[in-house]
Amino acid sequence: MRRKRRSVTVPSKYLLLGLTVFCIVLMGVTFFTDFLATPLSNLAGGVIIPFQTGVSRIGESLSRRKEEVVNIRDVMAENDRLREQLDRLEIENNSLQQDKYELSHLRELYQLDEQYENYEKIGAHVISKDPGNWFSTFVIDKGQKDGLEVDMNVMAGSGLVGRIIEVGDDWAKVLSIINDSSSVSAMVLSTEDNCIVEGNLETMKSGMITFSKLVAEEGTVKEGDKLVTSYISTKYLPGILIGYVTEINPDANHLTNSGYMTPAVDFSHLQQVLVVTTRKNGAEMQGEDQ
Amino acid sequence: MKRTVFIVLIMIVAFVLQTTVGKWIAFGSVSPNLLIIFVAAFGFMCGSSTGLLTGFFAGLLWDLFYGDIIGFHALVFMYIGYMNGAFKQIFYKEDIKLPLILIMVSDFLYGIVCYVLQFLLRGRFDFAHYMMYVILPEMVYTVLLTMLVYPPIRTVTLKLDSQQSALSL
């Protein structure tokens, strides 16, 4: 066998050298430009995505089955509790409904119609995630054919998940806000102070990400305050809930504050997401990732 | 030839499983690195050339899908495959310790490289934290998974190998 190999293959040293150079060139090309990335990903996507879709469907149903078995007792107890809650909420709902009419009337007056209930949305399944443990990007099962484009915002439930960074025919890659290299221009809802929310692998272990550059007077922003996407963001539509302030500390320069926030979305159990097909077409702004 | 087809199939299956099933079996949001297992295993079972090619294509697949910079994982995986190839000399079938150690070291090195190039250079200095919560858990989990997936892969690979060498004689 050894005899055969020696006669057939290139010595591995040269192969290694050649491919190393190739990789470095490729890295250089994709780092400084991005003309290679999309066609290559599309090629690979066409082959792998169908498999991933299938397997993740199976996995999803299996894990749901598992949860069903485990949770059935909890669910029964919860059911009773929820029934009570339902009654209470129905009463509450009625009064809120009245408030809502009033609110929509007032909103019309103020022409504040860019609330995100009005954005067009498409539902999608998460079919695969980044294979490593360092970054949080994932792939969903809708793409160009469904009208998705790069930079569209992705939500789950009522909170912001991230935005689309790459689109194939029937898949799209989403960069989540908890990704260590992601940053979002945000605003404290109560005081309208701007800040930057950045993903952080380190603090995500305790369910939080960081925010910084918050210019606010001491004591005005409190724990539990809502953080939403800001009006000056270039990629994100305004007014989408990102999460809640959990800890706030003044910076050493006494001008800005930074701290931790808890995202509104449960990122460890992300299965369905909503893609907002309305896109923000604002001017270039500083502070966000490219 | 048969072996090449086998390796390609295994790598694709491993990639698909890792990206889909990976998150279902994640433990404390850390999932095992199936690709490293196979890159290292084919390295020390089949030699440097096979190892580095397996690593290169597995890494390229990763980069095409999830890499920011295409070529990064291809490069790292290629070197992992190549270095494991050097241990072909002292590898023998019945021994499970060497494969486990090699895969453990491979995954550890991969973790370190990822941290240094993708995190340290961006000013994330808390090495101890990443060590405790990403690199080591991933390593342990990967080694545990190795015990499960390595034996069948070894059996098939060595069988294909012996067929091939029988043909060439």
Domain ranges (residues) in chain A: 2-32, 121-282
Reported as a single tens digit per residue, the pLDDT across A31-80 is 787 666 667 777 777 777 887 788 878 877 877 777 777 778 788 888 88
Q: For B117, which residue in chain A has the nearest alpha carbon?
A: A134
Cα(A204)–Cα(A225) distance, rounded to whole angstroms?
19
Is it the case that residue A287 has pLDDT exceeding 70? Answer: no
Supply the pLDDT for residue A285: 42
Model confidence at B30, in pLDDT bands (50, 70, 90)?
confident
Is it the case that residue B23 has pLDDT exceeding 90? Answer: no
Cα(B153)–Cα(A180) distance, rounded to whole angstroms?
35
Residues A85-120, buried b or exposed e (16+ Cβ, 10 A)? eeeeeeeeeeeeeeeeeeeeeeeeeeeeeeebeebe
Amino acid at A169: D
B 108-147 residues with CB < 8 A to A: 114-115, 118-119, 122, 124, 126, 129-130, 133-134, 138
Cβ-contact B145, B38 below 8 angstroms: no
One-character DSSP codes across B61-103: HHHHHH-SSTTHHHHHHHHHHHHHHGGGTT--TT--HHHHHHH
Model confidence at A290, in pLDDT bands (50, 70, 90)?
very low
Q: For A34, which residue in chain B has the nearest alpha carbon?
A: B69
Q: Is the ipTM of this complex over 0.85?
A: no
Cα(A45)–Cα(B70) distance, rounded to whole angstroms?
15
Contacts of A175 in chain B (CB under 8 A): none
Reported as a single tens digit per residue, the pLDDT across A193-232 is 889 999 988 888 788 899 988 887 777 888 888 888 888 8
Q: What is the mean pLDDT of residues B101-114?
A: 94
Q: What is the mean pLDDT of residues A235-245?
A: 87
Q: Hey, is the C-beta of B19 within 8 angstroms of any chain A C-beta?
A: yes
- Cβ burial of A256 (10 Å; 0-12, 13-18, 19+) is middle
Q: For residue A166, which of B148, B27, B65, B93 has the smallest C-alpha distance?
A: B65
| H/E stretch holding A229 | strand A226-229
* CB-based contact A180 B56, cutoff 8 Å: no
Q: Which SS3 state, helix, strand or coil, does residue A286 take? A: coil
Reported as a single tens digit per residue, the pLDDT across A136-160 is 888 998 888 888 988 899 988 778 9
Q: What is the mean pLDDT of residues A91-119?
A: 69
Cβ-contact A185, A287 below 8 angstroms: yes
The CATH T-level fold of domain A121-282 is Thrombin, subunit H (2.40.10)
Q: What is the mean pLDDT of residues B32-38?
A: 92
SS3 string of A160-214? EEEEEEEECCCCEEEEECCCCCCEEEEEECCCCCEEEEECCHHHHCCCCEEEEEE
Q: What is the mean pLDDT of residues B77-101?
A: 91
Supply the pLDDT for residue A266: 84
Cβ-contact B35, B17 below 8 angstroms: no
Nearest to A9 among B49, B62, B114 (CB): B49
**A253: DSSP letter:** T
**Mean pLDDT score of chain A, rounded to an integer?**
80
User: Residue length, chain A?
Assistant: 290
Cβ-contact A277, A172 below 8 angstroms: no
Cα(A59)–Cα(B25) distance, rounded to whole angstroms?
10
User: Taking CA A264 as the corner, what is the angle to CA A261 and CA A269, rounded to the nearest 5 degrees?
Assistant: 115
* CB-based contact B119 A15, cutoff 8 Å: no
Nearest to A56 among B20, B161, B165 (CB): B20
- The 10 Å Cβ neighbour count of residue A190 is 14
Distance from CA of A58 to the nearest CA of B (A): 9
Cα(A227)–Cα(A244) distance, rounded to whole angstroms?
6
**Residues 6+ away with beta carbon under 8 Å from A264:** A157, A158, A159, A160, A241, A242, A243, A244
Helices marked H in chain B — which ranges?
2-20, 34-46, 48-66, 72-85, 97-114, 127-130, 136-168
Cβ-contact A267, A138 below 8 angstroms: no
* CB-based contact B65 A133, cutoff 8 Å: no
Query: A263: which 2 tokens?
Result: 């995202």
